[in-house]
């Protein structure tokens, strides 16, 4: 089964296989990111701009801002969870409070909106 | 490539959604296939139904569109009855009780906790009195807004209500415009006070004179959403009232054909206006979408506008008692944050019947107006106990408080809004004194950048944020100052960011006191802000803890309902069946 990913309601949340999985308004810690000058970006997710699948990762580019320095913008691709078994379609979300490493994509992937 | 939503719209959209909606309603929530839920919920919006946020699955917000905010005799009672019978959830709201109506900034009505199984009955009740939810949300003509006392106002130069009603009837359910790239918001006003708020709508008709005739100038491309606020731009077109619908046909067809269907974030016409500019917008409209010669703009009345100008002169809103052109009066009642308990709605319906014509109207400031009250009824009406809570003479802090839905129900919001703003207003009323010459002071609280509370056009703009306090994440607000409309509209300057929500009332108190100390002569707050740089203003906003207590500092979005005793997401009863009993969940 193909993993179906999209953002809905003006980027308020990410749907994975027709299930609401990731919401805005959470704080994410980003490291090794050039989003802002902070060593670790304390990032408030305000809207999902793009979502995609880089098997097994479900990824997103998120609009928001660092609540420490105020820098706002859109992140590089962040892994928000995984669908390890496409047949079951079960989504395993990451813990957003943990440290995450946004990355620039270097290979093609299935991306929507 | 067209967006996912466009694909769903291509399959089923517009009027035909109703048939499916009714079938699902008949068979119950569980009949909506899980792998089709996203598509159906997107489509249901067209019929005014918005699936509530995470933790509240199977419950819907229902929006009823009342063009120009006009609620005709007999309709308010039905709205109150529907709210009381169907808009009740598993837990009461601590400020507003079991059932309530929200009057919105676009003169519509929102009810919450609606079950899909109740839709046929609700539609039947609403439609029996001429009300409806069609196109209240979704990618089409939305509820038309305007001067809420159109047709009655002494300041009116052309009867905008008849034009608004004509536009409503022409474009509701009209298959040619049922599937637009994005929402399409239209404002119309015929008065010289500027209360249509055309500047922040996609398409605005504003009163203007041309060769001795009063018609409308046309502006395009306003809007506040995201961090991309735009004022509508003058496209140098004037239309007589009888041609307003032709231009509306043309403009919405132009948007239908040229709006961006690949990127929903870029779909609103304000972005096409950015790309094209007003001259091209006019020439494409002229060449491809109307079959008559467009007249150039007439002489507008913007220099007379008083609404939301911060001038403290004239008519800044519709609260209070005002004479109509027929000699009767309208009584504008303040509804704090636009939310009114269902029992109060029913009582007001009776009072409107008893003292007026039974008609009421909603304003773009979330208030309600009882119209057609004969002079001899005024004293008795304004002495009614209900008006102690919905006063025509409220404190400026009660009068000016607007809040969006917030994390109580909305997926996009970052913070709790309505209950917080109620607490802010009460605290400010008790603890802050405005200068005597300031009766209008607007504080708008929006939970996110979607800007449903229109924060950018308030004296004090509050926008949902997060920050850390003592290392812990807490709900916070960005503070902006000096926004407003009028001849010289301007958006607020965001001067102080990420203020913990419990320090905001103290910040406003300090700001007002600093303003009183530093103002020169009779300087209004808006002029005061305009004349000072952001740094100076930021220094005047001194966030401070006070005896104000904020019970919503934690992450309210992580709860299934912020006011439930056990608010943990895992404790949510949703999804539920028609009787409100929990259904087994996949999780």
Please report the ipTM that was assigned to this predicted complex: 0.92
- Terminal Cα distance for chain B, rounded: 34
* CA B504/CA A43 separation, integer angstroms: 22
Does residue A107 surpass a pLDDT of 60?
no
User: Is B3 touching A (CB cutoff 8 A)?
Assistant: yes
Q: What are phi and psi of B493, to 5 degrees?
A: -90, 130
Single out the residue of B127, B179, B190 nearest to residue B153, CA to CA.
B190
Residue in this structure with the two tokens 């207590």, named with its chain if needed: B549
Instruction: Count how many domains chain B has.
Output: 4
Q: Return the residue of A nearest to B54 by Cα.
A: A20
Question: Are B476 and B516 within one domain?
Answer: yes
B532 in Cβ contact with B515 (< 8 Å): no
Average pLDDT over residues A64-88: 93
Find chain B residues with C-beta within 8 A of A49's C-beta.
265
Residues B455 and B517 reside in one and the same domain:
yes
Last residue of a domain, one of B330, B358, B390: B390
* A71 and B CB contact within 8 Å: no
pLDDT recorded at residue B412 = 95
The whole-number average pLDDT for the span A30-56 is 93
Q: Note the pLDDT tens digit of each residue in B157-182.
A: 999 999 999 999 999 999 999 999 99
Q: How far is B65 from chain A (nearest CA, A)?
A: 20
**What pLDDT, on the 0 to 100 scale, is given for residue A112?**
44
Let me know if residue B41 belongs to a domain: yes
Last residue of a domain, one of B390, B421, B442: B390
Which residues, 6+ apart, have CB-to-CB distance to B576 below 8 Å?
Answer: B29, B58, B59, B90, B115, B582, B583
Q: Give the number of domains in chain A.
A: 1
Of B179, B186, B191, which Cα lies nearest the Cα of B232? B186
CA B271/CA B264 separation, integer angstroms: 11
**Test the A interface: residue of B35, B466, B479, B562 with most A CBs within 10 Å:** B466
Q: Is B450 on the interface with A (CB under 8 A)?
A: yes
**Residue A7 near residue A15 (C-beta atoms within 8 A):** yes
Does residue B50 surpass a pLDDT of 50? yes
Do B232 and B97 lie in one domain? The reply is: no
- On whether residue B107 sits in a domain, the answer given is yes
Query: Residue range A56-72: average pLDDT?
Result: 95
Q: How far apart are CA B282 and CA B116, in angstroms?
A: 43
pLDDT exceeding 90 applies to what percent of chain A? 65
- Flag whether pLDDT at A1 surpasses 80: no
How far A37 CA sits from the closest chain B CA (Å)? 17
* B213 and B292 belong to one structural domain: yes
Residue B578 placed within a domain: no
Establish if B583 belongs to a structural domain: no
Q: A111 in a domain, yes or no? A: no
Q: Is B162 on the interface with A (CB under 8 A)?
A: no
The first and second tokens of residue B178, run together, are 């049922």
* Residue B92, helix vs strand vs coil: coil
Find chain A residues with C-beta within 8 A of B227's C-beta: 72
Residue A32 confidence (pLDDT) above 90: no
What CA–CA distances, in Å, run from B512 to A1, B432, B464, B529, B541? 60, 8, 21, 12, 9
Closest approach of chain B CAs to the CA of A107, in angstroms?
19
Say whether residue A72 is in contact with chain B using an 8 A CB cutoff: yes
Q: Please give the pLDDT value at position B145.
A: 98
In sequence order, what E strands does B364-439 have?
A: 368-373, 401-403
How far is the C-alpha of B310 from the C-alpha of B332, rounded, in Å? 19
Distance of CA B298 to the CA centre of its chain: 29
What is chain A's length?
A: 113
Q: What are phi and psi of B195, to 5 degrees?
A: -90, 10
Tell me the residue range of the domain where A17 lies: 5-101
Given B65, B98, B128, the domain boundary residue is: B128
Tell me, yes or no, whether A79 lies in a domain: yes
| CA pair distance B386, B539, nearest whole angstrom | 41
Partners of B409 on chain A (C-beta within 8 Å) are none
Residue A104, pLDDT above cutoff 90: no
In the block, residue with structure tokens 């990127």:
B263
Is B273 within 8 Å of B230 (Cβ atoms)? yes
What's the CATH code of the domain at B355? 3.30.70.3340
- The counts of H helices and E strands in chain B are 15, 21
Give tens-digit pLDDT for B521-568: 899 999 999 999 999 999 999 999 999 999 999 889 999 999 999 999
Residue A109 placed within a domain: no
pLDDT the model gives residue A105: 60
Mean local confidence (pLDDT), B134-152: 97
**Which chain A positions have a beta carbon within 8 Å of B555's beta carbon?**
25-26
CA distance A35 to A16: 26
Residue at A58 is within a domain:
yes
Residue A112 forms part of a structural domain: no
B114 φ, ψ to 5°?
Answer: -80, 135
Assign residue B57 the CATH number of its domain. Answer: 3.90.480.20
Tell which of B261, B265, B413, B415 to mutate to test the A interface (max A CBs under 10 Å). Answer: B265
Residue A97, chain B, CB below 8 Å: the answer is no
Residue B271 pLDDT level (bands cut at 50, 70, 90) = very high
Please determine, for residue A102, whether its predicted confidence score (pLDDT) is greater than 60.
yes
Q: Do B498 and A10 touch (CB under 8 A)?
A: no
A72: which chain B residues are within 8 Å (Cβ-Cβ)? 227
- Residue A106 located in a structural domain: no
Å from B347 to nearest chain A CA?
Answer: 36
Would the pLDDT of B508 be above 70? yes
Domain identity same for B463 and B521: yes
Give the domain extent around B181. 150-304
B523 in any annotated domain:
yes
Beta bridge partners of A65: A44, A72
Tens digits of per-residue pLDDT, B72-88?
999 999 999 999 999 99
pLDDT digits (tens, 9 = 90+) for B370-393: 999 999 999 999 999 999 999 999
Quick one: B409 and B386 in the same domain? Answer: no
Examine the domain organization and report whether B371 and B487 are in the same domain: no
B480 and B541 together in one domain: yes
Q: CB B450 to CB A26 under 8 A?
A: no
3-state secondary structure (DSSP) of residue B469: strand
Which residue in this structure is represented by tokens 């207003």?
B425
Residue A58 CA to residue A77 CA, distance in Å, equals 10
What is the token pair recorded at B407?
A: 């994390």
Task: Kindly state whether residues B263 and B365 are assigned to the same domain.
Answer: no
Cβ–Cβ gap A18/B37 under 8 Å: yes
Distance CA B297, CA B208 (A): 8
B433 touches chain A (CB under 8 A): no
Neighbours of B332 (CB within 10 A): 25
Q: State the Cα–Cα distance between residues B460 and B493, nearest whole angstrom.
A: 9
> How many inter-chain contacts (A to B, CB under 8 Å) are there?
81
Q: Residues B425-437, buried b or exposed e (16+ Cβ, 10 A)? A: bbbbbeebebbee
- Mutual angle of helices B504-518 and B418-431, in 10-degree steps: 40
Does the pLDDT of residue B410 top 80, yes or no?
Answer: yes
Q: How many CA atoms lie within 13 A of B374 on its CB side?
A: 6
| Bridge partner residues of B111 (DSSP) | B62
B316 domain residue, yes or no: no
B498 touches chain A (CB under 8 A): yes
Q: What value, to the nearest 5°, has the Cα angle with vertex B254 and ends B250 and B258?
A: 175
Write the residue in A18, A23, A113 that is nearest to B411 by C-beta: A23
Please indicate, yes or no, if residue A68 is contained in any of the structural domains.
Answer: yes
Q: Are B452 and B405 in contact (CB under 8 A)?
A: yes
**B577 in a structural domain:** no
- Residues B542, B409, single domain; the answer is yes
B53 and B110 both lie in a single domain: yes
Of B226, B411, B555, the CB nearest to A9: B411
**A40 lies in a domain?**
yes
Helix (H) or strand (E) holding A43: strand A40-54
Q: Say yes or no: B257 and B373 in one domain.
A: no
- The predicted model gives B306-333 an average pLDDT of 92
Radius of gyration of chain A (CA): 13
Contacts of B53 in chain A (CB under 8 A): 12, 23
Nearest residue in B to A47, CA atom: B412
Residue B22 exposed, middle or buried by CB count within 10 Å (0-12, 13-18, 19+): middle
> What CATH number is attached to the domain comprising B296?
3.30.413.10
Best mutation target, A5, A9, A38, to test chain B (most B CBs within 10 A): A9
B360 inside domain: yes
Question: With 0-12 CB in 10 A as exposed, 13-18 as middle and 19+ as buried, what is B102?
Answer: buried
* Chain A nearest CA to B325, separation (Å): 43
């Amino acid at each position: 089964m193909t993993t179906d990913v999209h953002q809905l309601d003006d980027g308020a949340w990410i749907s994975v296989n027709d299930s609401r999985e990731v919401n805005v308004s959470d704080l994410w810690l980003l490291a090794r990111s050039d989003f802002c000058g902070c060593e670790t970006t304390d990032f408030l997710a305000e809207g999902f701009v793009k979502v995609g699948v880089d098997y097994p990762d479900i990824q997103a580019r998120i609009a928001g801002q660092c609540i420490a320095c105020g820098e706002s913008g859109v992140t590089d691709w962040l892994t928000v969870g995984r669908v390890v078994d496409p047949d079951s379609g079960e989504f395993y979300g990451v813990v957003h409070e943990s440290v995450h490493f946004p990355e620039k994509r270097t290979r093609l992937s299935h991306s929507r909106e | 490539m067209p967006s996912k939503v466009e694909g769903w719209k291509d399959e089923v959209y517009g009027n035909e959604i109703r048939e499916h909606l009714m079938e699902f309603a008949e068979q119950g929530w569980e009949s909506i296939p899980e792998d089709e839920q996203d598509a159906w919920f997107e489509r249901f919006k067209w019929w005014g139904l918005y699936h509530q946020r995470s933790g509240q699955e199977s419950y819907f917000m229902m929006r009823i569109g009342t063009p120009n905010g006009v609620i005709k005799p007999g309709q308010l009672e039905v709205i109150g009855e529907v709210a009381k019978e169907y808009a009740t959830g598993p837990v009461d709201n601590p400020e507003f009780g079991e059932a309530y109506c929200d009057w919105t900034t676009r003169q519509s009505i929102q009810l919450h906790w609606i079950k899909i199984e109740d839709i046929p009955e609700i539609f039947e009740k609403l439609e029996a009195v001429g009300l409806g939810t069609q196109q209240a949300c979704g990618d089409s003509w939305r509820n038309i807004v305007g001067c809420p006392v159109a047709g009655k106002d002494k300041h009116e130069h052309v009867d905008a209500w008849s034009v608004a009603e004509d536009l409503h009837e022409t474009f509701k359910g009209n298959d040619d415009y049922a599937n637009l790239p994005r929402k399409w918001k239209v404002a119309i006003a015929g008065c010289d006070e500027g209360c249509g708020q055309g500047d922040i709508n996609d398409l605005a008709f504003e009163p203007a004179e041309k060769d001795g005739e009063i018609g409308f100038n046309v502006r395009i491309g306003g809007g506040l959403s995201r961090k991309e606020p735009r004022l509508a731009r003058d496209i140098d077109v004037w239309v007589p009232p009888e041609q307003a619908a032709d231009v509306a046909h043309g403009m919405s067809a132009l948007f239908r054909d040229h709006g961006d269907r690949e990127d929903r974030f870029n779909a609103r016409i304000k972005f096409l206006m950015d790309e094209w500019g007003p001259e091209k917008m006019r020439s494409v409209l002229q060449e491809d979408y109307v079959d008559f010669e467009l007249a150039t703009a007439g002489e507008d009345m913007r220099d007379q506008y008083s609404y939301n100008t911060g001038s403290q002169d004239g008519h800044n809103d519709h609260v209070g008692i005002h004479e109509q052109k027929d000699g009767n009066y309208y009584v504008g009642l303040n509804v704090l944050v636009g939310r009114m308990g269902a029992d109060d709605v029913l009582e007001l319906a009776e009072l409107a019947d008893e003292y007026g014509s039974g008609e009421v109207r909603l304003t773009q400031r979330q208030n309600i107006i009882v119209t057609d009250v004969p002079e001899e009824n005024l004293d008795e009406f304004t002495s009614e106990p209900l008006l102690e809570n919905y006063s025509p003479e409220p404190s400026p802090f009660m009068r000016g408080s607007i809040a969006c839905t917030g994390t109580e129900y909305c997926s996009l919001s970052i913070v709790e809004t309505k209950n917080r703003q109620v607490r802010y207003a009460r605290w400010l009323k008790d603890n802050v004194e405005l200068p005597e010459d300031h009766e209008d002071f607007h504080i708008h609280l929006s939970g996110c950048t979607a800007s449903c509370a229109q924060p950018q056009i308030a004296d004090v703009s509050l926008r949902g944020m997060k920050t850390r306090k003592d290392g812990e994440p807490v709900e916070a607000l960005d503070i902006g100052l000096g926004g407003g409309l009028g001849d010289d509209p301007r958006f607020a300057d965001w001067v102080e960011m990420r203020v913990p929500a419990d320090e905001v009332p103290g910040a406003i108190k300090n700001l007002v006191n600093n303003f009183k100390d530093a103002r020169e002569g009779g300087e209004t707050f808006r002029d005061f802000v305009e004349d000072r740089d952001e740094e100076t203003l930021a220094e005047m906003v001194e966030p401070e803890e006070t005896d104000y207590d904020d019970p919503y500092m934690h992450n309210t979005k992580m709860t299934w309902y912020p006011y439930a005793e056990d608010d943990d997401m895992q404790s949510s009863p949703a999804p539920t069946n028609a009787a409100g009993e929990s259904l087994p969940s996949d999780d």
